[in-house]
Amino acid sequence: PEGEIYVGRTPPKGDGWTPEEDVLDTWFSSGLWPFSTLGWPEETPDYARFYPTQVMETGHDILFFWVARMIMMGMWFTDTPPFDTVYLHGLVRDKNGRKFSKSLGNVIDPLLLIDQYGADPLRFTLLTSGTPGNDVNLDEAKVEYTYKFVNKIWNITKLVNMNLDEDLPSGIPHQSELDLPARWIVSRTQKLIKNVQYLFDAYQYGEAGNQILSFMWDEFAPWYLEIAKHPLYNGTPEEKERAQRVMVYVLDTCLRLLHPYMPFMTEAAWRYIPHEEEALIVAKWPEANEALIDEAAESEMEIFATLVRDIRNIRTDYKVDPGKRIAALIAPGSRQKALEDYGYIFGRLCNVPEVTILSNGATAPENAASTVVDDITLYLPLEGMLDIEAECARLTKETEKLNDRIGGIAKKLANEGFVSKAPEAVVQRERDNLDQLQTELKQLNERLESLCK
């Protein structure tokens, strides 16, 4: 009927109706997205704060469909372009770099991945798997790895939360009040903030995310949090409070940096530590404090870290149970006070609770494995650490096996027919194997000589 308008899910009854011919597709409403979501046409606080934005990130395949329309709509309705930079990511492909295709049977349903691992692990994986100019090869194993990282963050948050006292002062103590491990982790945190900001400014979002992961997984959790258990459980009330404040500061900073990658998990975890802002999504972005960068503390901690790694390697070489407590003797060189103050680090990180500081120039103990770091010499007495007679028998058996393998390869390489007829790559592989086995044999003989003389 003339003059009537009908809107519905089913066709109207009767005759004479004409379907609307000017239909706006989904890209029309999408083109309004930069400002319509912020309360436009009203002058809302969100509109004033967030429009225009700086960077628009999308795929090159919808430049015309979406990006161009957003720019045109923004210019028409607000006289302002909605963003100044368009960042184009690569297309998502399968783990072998092939396009997703039903015929290939390689299509990955993101909803299934989200059901299994969560939205944040998938989001982080996509953001960190690509490099500028390249497509993203999506491998479910990477999503699973990120899922484990999320669990790690939850465990870190739980550890920090369960060790906090009520009414904890905000912020970190003055640098002069911090112990060496705290100065180290605070300094490393400032460098992380600087690196992430630099990478963000350079649109290297994947590398920035990987650096946050590496910091939390390789430095904060296994080193500082383990070391901090000493002041938390054995320190004075003042030492305990300082450790708590440093833990909260570092975790808070990491969650803020991670929030663009993992908005749901970081928002939830952030509520378990003291904070002042209403929500993480509107919390202040971290800024590095150059005054807190402490190169001396980082150098000193690197010495402790090297000693810890060397102790772990010695334990592994001698097949010492990781749970077995052992003792250490240390000729301190120029670092006697640091070793006296922080010798507990060896107890926390490599199960060496008993550390004896020797006088410089003291005679080296017999039957001891040793390592030298800078001007420090550390000895691990083997008596009590392992059954020397059994270890000598094991080493002797290992050398016999190595000699047999070396003899077999040497005989093969002495055969002119093999060397002349076999592919060069095969011959070179045998030579490399021989070099490797000879190096291992030399190391075994040195240990046999020092232990079983």
pLDDT exceeds 90 at position 295: yes
pLDDT at 15: 84
CATH topology assigned to domain 388-451 = Helix Hairpins (1.10.287)
Tell me how many helices (H) and strands (E) the chain has.
18, 8
- Residue 60's pLDDT is 86
Mean pLDDT of 39-58: 94
pTM: 0.80
Q: Measured between alpha carbons, how far is residue 381 from residues 316, 368, 370, 390, 434 in Å?
A: 15, 4, 9, 16, 33
Element (H, E) at 333: none
CB-based contacts of 107: which residues, under 8 Å, 6+ apart? 100, 101
pLDDT in tens, 104-163: 888 889 999 999 999 999 999 999 987 777 888 989 999 999 999 999 999 999 999 999
More confident residue, 59 or 232: 232
Instruction: Return the CATH number of the domain spanning residue range 140-293.
Output: 1.10.730.10
Q: Which residues contact 382 (CB under 8 A, 6 or more apart)?
A: 318, 367, 368, 369, 388, 391, 451
Per-domain residue ranges of the chain: 23-89, 140-293, 297-381, 388-451
> DSSP state, 13?
S
User: What is the chain's length?
Assistant: 453
Check pLDDT > 70 for residue 1.
Answer: no
**Which residue reads 């989904």 in tokens?**
26
Q: What is the reported pLDDT for 238? A: 96
Measured between alpha carbons, how far is 92 from 142 in angstroms, rounded to an integer?
A: 14
More confident site: 408 or 11: 408
